Structure 1
Amino acid sequence: MDNQTLIQYFHWYYNEEEKLWVKAKNEAETLAGIGITAIWFPPAYKANSGAASVGYDPYDLYDLGEFDQKNSIETRYGSKAAYQEAIRVLQDKGIAVIADVVFNHKAGGDELEKMMVRTVNPENREEFTSEAYEIEAWTKFNFPGRKGQYSAFIWNKDCFSGIDWAEDRKETGIYSIQNEYGEGWEEVPSTELGNYDYLMYNDVEFRNPEVRADLKCWGEWYVNTCGMRGFRLDAVKHISTDFLTDWLDHMKNAFPEGFFVVAENWNIESLEQLQQYLELTEGRMQLFDSLLHRNFHLAAEERENYDLTKIFEDTLVQTHPLLTVTFVDNHDSQPLQALESYVELWFRPMAYALILLREQGIPCVFYPDLYGATYTDEDKEGEEQEVSLPVLSGLVEMIKIRKGLAYGLQRDYLDFPNCIGWTREGIADQVGSGLAVLLSNGAEGFKAIEMGVQHAGRVMVDAIGGRTEEVSVNDEGWAEFFCNAESLSVWVFKQK
């Protein structure tokens, strides 16, 4: 079986002339050819800001760009028909489609309702700062453009545990809705800010059995309608784990072939919290390794002062490699975004080698690194900035090398602060497989490392880093490899 390689097929500012669903369909053959096995699509349903939305302010999960709602029929990425066609073509080419699922909140209610609320301290949501009082808020969702097609369920104030806007008072705040399911927040994995159930917009009340039932019906409808083979779950640290495991179990029972599931639990401080989440969910889902991303960001910033022997220290891929999706950057960490922590360009090829060419974890490539991106937005000071992210040199070659050559026993040489490496011995089933990787964050590097005695006498060349010499494996199966300063080399067997 070929190595798995995911791609996040969007970024926050996707602004190309070609709609995303059409572009993905047109690129399917190329993506399959270089070794992409799964594609993570952005949220496909109608959002509060209509065709302008990236998708994380969901309004109607049943509207995939089909109904005239929120001032648009199509979403930012195209029509329902184009989405279905993209999924069909990609999966016919062997690329599994992973759908982004945003359960935490809804936005853009259609009607006002009166309800009893209490305000909470934003820094400690467990602390109430008022007695109960009445406000009016946009909590009724009746989806007038869809008119009950696919689902007649109407969302109202009983479907939400919190909101951030009182329409009658024209006031923002964090309001805990006082309903029959409890005056306080749901139990969620994150204890940041006391209880991090409330994130934004209208916070969904998963203690309401009617909400849970509708989301299960939606899940079945979504798969039957579109046929995706996986899910990316958004913002899981803010969502009842009891609900998510119940929903995933329901989907597994409805579709016994199962799904690839990866969750976003953004955390750059506590490995223990990510480990606890994996234990709590009992292997039902993988997690993105935000801690490894943190290490990449620090390594790029600190340059030769960063100790490369610690690059995998306190990361999920080190402790739970079979349940980890690794990445270099994503739409939240890219320049001008809220969690901006973009890995500097000089280190990006090395970061990609560290996720693509090793045994542990399933790597996820970021769209701009494959296609480039140019966009403008305001920075934290409110100043307009133009960002240009280049196509990353060597990335396509590394994805291809992962597909064809990155197999077999891995030997690690994470033994020098400024120069580390590893080898993959190769396997008989993959002709020509096997490789050696060396990278340096300082001066030119070299290292004697073992390839395996079965490769004695074979010649290896650098496919990525620009070294021109040839290296021969000696009779004991060892060879000395080299890399340029602040660079990497990927040594593969020379073709006869």
Structure 2
Amino acid sequence: MRTIKFMGLVLVFLSLFNCEKEDLQDTENLTQENQTTETIQKRAGLKPIGEGVMMQAFYWDVPAGGNWWNTINSKVADWSNAGIDAIWLPPVSKAQNGPFSMGYDPFDYFDFGEYDQMGSIETRFGSRTELTRMINSAHQNGLSVIADIVINHNSGGASEANPYTGGNTWTDFNPLSGNFYRSATDFHPNNIHSNDTGVFGGFPDLCHHQTYVQDWLWKNSNCVAKYYRDVIGFDGWRFDYVKGFEPWVVKDWKNEVGGFSVGEYWDSNVSTLDWWTGAAEVSAFDFACYYKMRDAFMGNNLSVLNDNMLWKQNASKAVTFVTNHDTDEITNNKILAYAYILTHEGYPTVFYRDYEEWLNKERLNNLIWIHNNLASGSTTILHADTDEYVAKRNGYNGPGLVVYINNSNSWQERWVETNWSNTVIKDYTGHSGWEPTTQSGKWVKIQAPPKSYSVWSVK
């Protein structure tokens, strides 16, 4: 009888314990669900990425010490007011070099500055709390947030015997987050094939043909892509070093989780860039445009701007830029290059240091306003020679514009054919005080100051 009573008490205790455990699990699941719902609700009303201007919100070797997310947080309101519609962040997860890493040597995709590994708890940029606070602040200010995704290679694994090489490799990954453990089979060479399209810096090269890798990166409910989107709050993706794997990887990721996507396919060949955007079904940085601008402004020959670029071939897939964290070769009259990309087709990117430190912020803000309010419709190049470049945007639900870039040392004037007949126009940069009236045949004389530009539209 006592045994029966004792067993009954045990069963009651176990039942209560299991109920409490289930309640705790339900609470944790509800908390995560509420967090996901709250994050998505905060993103309601954001404009589609690409309607404004992207800010690359970092540069190589930003100050270490874990304060970068706070720095960005202090600027998102001003950026939004200036016309920025999205910010591109550096890789946010813990990497091999811990507090010193820029994130391009990823170790634990689920450690955002909360686990004591790789020599630190925080990343170079800060803690998980600071990251999510900054992202929420960006959303509240109408800015989308783009994650830098490094999935070609990993770094920081321990040494293990590798049956595919016959020796030891640094492919044993045991992250403290407890998510996405990796071993030799998940890298090249393995049981599927010896390599894919490219390796980077001798790092272990992930094999995207492995189902396990696909599941953890973009397919499972708790994968990297869905966790970054639903829990951390990212709205889009910048894919690093996409030459290292086939374009179907990016396509599958994008089809699974959505969001704006752009790949770093570092190649100046327009046909190659156009092929990749078609195969991946996403945008690409317009390196063809970048190198033509370098040749034009560094070589003092604006006629080069007549050459082909991705934005001319497929404007909806072109992300244009003047500088990024890897390359900064356009140093002569860099503002002229910004006048070019911010008046032409494509989705333009402004580099953090150009905006915050190196160039005239007032002039950049003016060009961003011009891009968002006047630069619509197809593009017609009206004139290009060594020193002068004139083009017009033909307008779409708006008047369009004429941009005049002058790389000479003196004022220049030129008759051009505009979109407007018998219409008063003005220079929206304020560089010229002229307010001419176009002729009935749409022709008008405009001017541009030395080593500068003007942008004309209906008054």
Q: Give the alignment's TM-score, normalised by structure 1.
A: 0.76
CA distance in structure 2 between the partners assigned to 1:117 and 1:18 by the alignment: 39
CA distance in structure 2 between the partners assigned to 1:463 and 1:418 by the alignment: 20
Structure 1 position 228 matched with structure 2 position 237:
no
CA distance in structure 2 between the partners assigned to 1:101 and 1:38 by the alignment: 16
Counterpart of 2:6 in structure 1 is none
Residue pair 1:34, 1:400 contacting (<8 A) in 2 also: yes
Q: Deviations over 1:170-226 (max 9, x none)?
A: xxxxxxx3x3113x212x3xxxxxxx3455311112222111111122211221111
Distance apart, 1:368 and its partner CA: 0.8
CA distance in structure 2 between the partners assigned to 1:311 and 1:298 by the alignment: 9
Structure 1 position 361 matched with structure 2 position 346:
yes
Change (3 A) 1:16 1:483: farther
CA distance in structure 2 between the partners assigned to 1:296 and 1:156 by the alignment: 44
Counterpart of 1:28 in structure 2 is 76
Greater gyration radius = 2
Counterpart of 2:294 in structure 1 is 297
Change (3 A) 1:142 1:68: same
Residue pair 1:425, 1:435 contacting (<8 A) in 2 also: yes
Residue pair 2:425, 2:456 contacting (<8 A) in 1 also: no
Structure 1 position 412 matched with structure 2 position 381:
yes
Counterpart of 1:168 in structure 2 is none
Structure 1 position 351 matched with structure 2 position 337:
yes
Counterpart of 1:99 in structure 2 is 147
Distance apart, 1:390 and its partner CA: 4.6
Choose the corresponding residue for 1:479, options 431, 440, 444. Answer: 444
CA distance in structure 1 between the partners assigned to 2:141 and 2:88 by the alignment: 15
Counterpart of 1:264 in structure 2 is 264
CA distance in structure 2 between the partners assigned to 1:229 and 1:457 by the alignment: 42
Counterpart of 2:205 in structure 1 is 203
CA distance in structure 2 between the partners assigned to 1:8 and 1:200 by the alignment: 27
Distance apart, 1:17 and its partner CA: 7.9
Is the partner of 1:204 in helix, strand or coil? coil
Counterpart of 1:181 in structure 2 is 192
Counterpart of 2:41 in structure 1 is none
Residue pair 1:440, 1:485 contacting (<8 A) in 2 also: yes
Residue pair 2:404, 2:447 contacting (<8 A) in 1 also: yes
Distance apart, 1:235 and its partner CA: 0.6
CA distance in structure 2 between the partners assigned to 1:40 and 1:414 by the alignment: 34
Residue pair 1:411, 1:450 contacting (<8 A) in 2 also: no
Structure 2: gaps (5+ residues): 1-46
Is the partner of 1:181 in helix, strand or coil? coil
Counterpart of 2:310 in structure 1 is 316
Q: Percent identity?
A: 28
Choose the corresponding residue for 1:77, options 107, 125, 140. Answer: 125
Counterpart of 2:372 in structure 1 is 403
Is the partner of 1:207 in helix, strand or coil? coil
CA distance in structure 2 between the partners assigned to 1:321 and 1:407 by the alignment: 12
CA distance in structure 2 between the partners assigned to 1:297 and 1:459 by the alignment: 31
Change (3 A) 1:392 1:291: farther
CA distance in structure 1 between the partners assigned to 2:148 and 2:55 by the alignment: 13
Distance apart, 1:414 and its partner CA: 3.1
Distance apart, 1:66 and its partner CA: 1.3
CA distance in structure 2 between the partners assigned to 1:99 and 1:332 by the alignment: 17
Structure 1 position 451 matched with structure 2 position 453:
no
1:350 aligned partner, one-letter code: L
CA distance in structure 2 between the partners assigned to 1:401 and 1:275 by the alignment: 27
Counterpart of 2:63 in structure 1 is 15
Is the partner of 1:106 in helix, strand or coil? coil
CA distance in structure 2 between the partners assigned to 1:245 and 1:459 by the alignment: 45
Residue pair 1:368, 1:391 contacting (<8 A) in 2 also: no
Choose the corresponding residue for 1:64, options 112, 115, 139. Answer: 112
Distance apart, 1:65 and its partner CA: 1.0
1:206 aligned partner, one-letter code: H
Distance apart, 1:450 and its partner CA: 3.0
Distance apart, 1:312 and its partner CA: 4.8
Change (3 A) 1:213 1:17: closer
| Structure with a larger share of its residues in helix | 2
Choose the corresponding residue for 2:216, options 214, 217, 223. Answer: 214
Q: Deviations over 1:237-283 (max 9, x none)?
A: 111333332232222xxxxxx31111100013x222222212322x2
Structure 1 position 157 matched with structure 2 position 184:
yes
1:436 aligned partner, one-letter code: V
Q: Give the alignment's TM-score, normalised by structure 2.
A: 0.82
Counterpart of 1:114 in structure 2 is 161
TM-align CA RMSD: 2.4
Q: Deviations over 1:270-315 (max 9, x none)?
A: 222222212322x2x1000011111111122211xx2x23315231
CA distance in structure 2 between the partners assigned to 1:393 and 1:29 by the alignment: 16
1:447 aligned partner, one-letter code: R
CA distance in structure 2 between the partners assigned to 1:451 and 1:100 by the alignment: 41
CA distance in structure 2 between the partners assigned to 1:36 and 1:250 by the alignment: 27
CA distance in structure 1 between the partners assigned to 2:148 and 2:413 by the alignment: 43
Q: Deviations over 1:382-424 (max 9, x none)?
A: xxxxxxx455662121112222332356443134342121234
| Structure with a larger share of its residues in strand | 1
Moved more, 60-69 or 8-17: 8-17
1:442 aligned partner, one-letter code: S
Residue pair 1:451, 1:479 contacting (<8 A) in 2 also: yes
